[in-house]
Amino acid sequence: MPHDVPRPPAAGAGAAFFDVDNTLMRGASIYHFARGLAARDLFTTRDLLRFAWGQTLFRVTGSEQPEHIDAAREAALAFVAGHGVADLVDLCEEIYDDSMADRIWEGTRRLVQHHLDAGQAVWLVTATPVELAQIIRKRLGLTGALGTRAETIDGVYTGRLNGDLLHGPAKAEAVDALAREKGWDLAVCSAYSDSSNDLPLLSLVGKPHAVNPDGDLRRYARTHAWPVHDFRRHRQTLKAAIPVTLAGAAAGAVAIRALRRRGTP
């Protein structure tokens, strides 16, 4: 049975880590960002379809094959290469307010608030570019955000990543490093995700939760007696999870091409 809002630990004990796509937000944040760019005539339908096919395999299958990781990395690089950080942040803020703010799952918002009310730190942990993750964090009043980072020189993106995409095991590594820096005991920390790709992160903490889970994560959570929260209505779990995953995987390169085109005279 799905669980209601969990009772959090005592104030100051540990932290809570939330995935973004389909955990905190309906659909994928980068997809909604790409749609915002489309509404501003910054890319074509052809761009969207081309990107959708390439990125869907990586996201839907959860494949860790090198060629899929490389494709995702290349997309993330193209997303920002040659453009100013300030320009990207301005776009993120505008599009979040216009078309993303109302896509936050109310149930997950309550989970977040419960941790905040208990005096705990709440961090986003997502493969989405950190600039977009930071906008979401600020708008929701959260503590911090970990996301995919691109290298900058003099306020302009170079087209190289600082480290790897924050996906799968990389999320767990980033959270482990953050916990050591902050002095948190991961045994009393919580983590929330919709995807079996995040099992390394979920298994790292003492209080893992599955939110709107895909089939593999739902089965794993039930086997291990993890709380399961499903805030989707009037749709079967599998039917809901796959299109959202497709959309999330699909949008990054579209946004990438859009930003590159935006910088073209």
Residues tagged active-site: 19, 21
Kindly tell me the burial class for residue 143, based on how many C-beta atoms sit within 10 Å of its own C-beta (0-12, 13-18, 19 or more): middle
* Tokens encoding 41: 């005539």
- CA separation for the pair 131, 152 (Å, rounded): 12
- CA separation for the pair 132, 33 (Å, rounded): 9
- Dihedral angle, C-alpha 72, 131, 78, 172, nearest 10 °: -20
